[in-house]
Amino acid sequence: MVSLILNPKNICSNTFLVQVKRYQSLIALMLSSQTKDQVTHAAMNRLIEHGLTVENILKTDDETLGKLIYPVGFWKTKVKYIKKTSLILKDKYNEDIPNNVKELCDLPGVGPKMAHLCMNVAWGIVTGIGVDVHVHRISNRIGWVKKPTKTPENTRLELESWLPQDLWSEVNHLLVGFGQQKCLPRNPQCGTCLNKNICPFGKKNIK
């Protein structure tokens, strides 16, 4: 997850209300899924310039919202998720966001990974490790799980069973960039990886 998302101060003016910062953090995380960091950054800048509050997003028609977030991954679906989520936040949370993982996961387009990251970013509470496809893949390759896991959620549970909790918030930020630049899904750059001598996958892959 990009530093932009991990530090809400980078995407919200300090004069904004705290709850608006939390809302913007949630939206940034929603946009970041299956999207390159620079694309997420650009979309967030456009949204903030447009006015990224619950009230303003609900007043924005879908076509305009789509143009603002394009070309983030699955942008058409995310337009619907953002609108539905914003309406729920208005009706149920007084335009704030939920302060627990369960209720965050009840929002359209929000899963466990996003919910745990949001709790850390928006509320400053570490509730779990945010495991996406990169963290899932790398954890299996380097042997951070006792046995191969099939889903990111299973990987999260495995990692949390042995990693000290004070390190949980660092895992996503550390491994996502590594997965995007070096430990790629296809054709990973094992030959030039500094972990090649201690990584089971790397040792096997460069033979």
Q: Which sequence positions are flagged as catalytic?
A: 113
Q: What contacts 107, CB < 8 A, 6 or more positions away? A: 26, 84, 85, 88, 89, 98
- For 70, left (φ over 0), alpha (ψ -120 to 50), or beta? beta
Q: Which two tokens stand for residue 123?
A: 């509320």
Using only C-alpha atoms, the chain has a radius of gyration, in whole angstroms, of: 18
User: What residue has token string 């990111």?
Assistant: 152
**Distance in angstroms (rounded) separating the CA atoms of residues 148 and 140:** 6
**Residue 6 structure tokens:** 């991990």
24: left (phi over 0), alpha (psi -120 to 50) or beta: alpha
* Residue at 167: amino acid letter: L
Assess whether the previous peptide bond of 71 is cis (omega < 30° from 0): yes
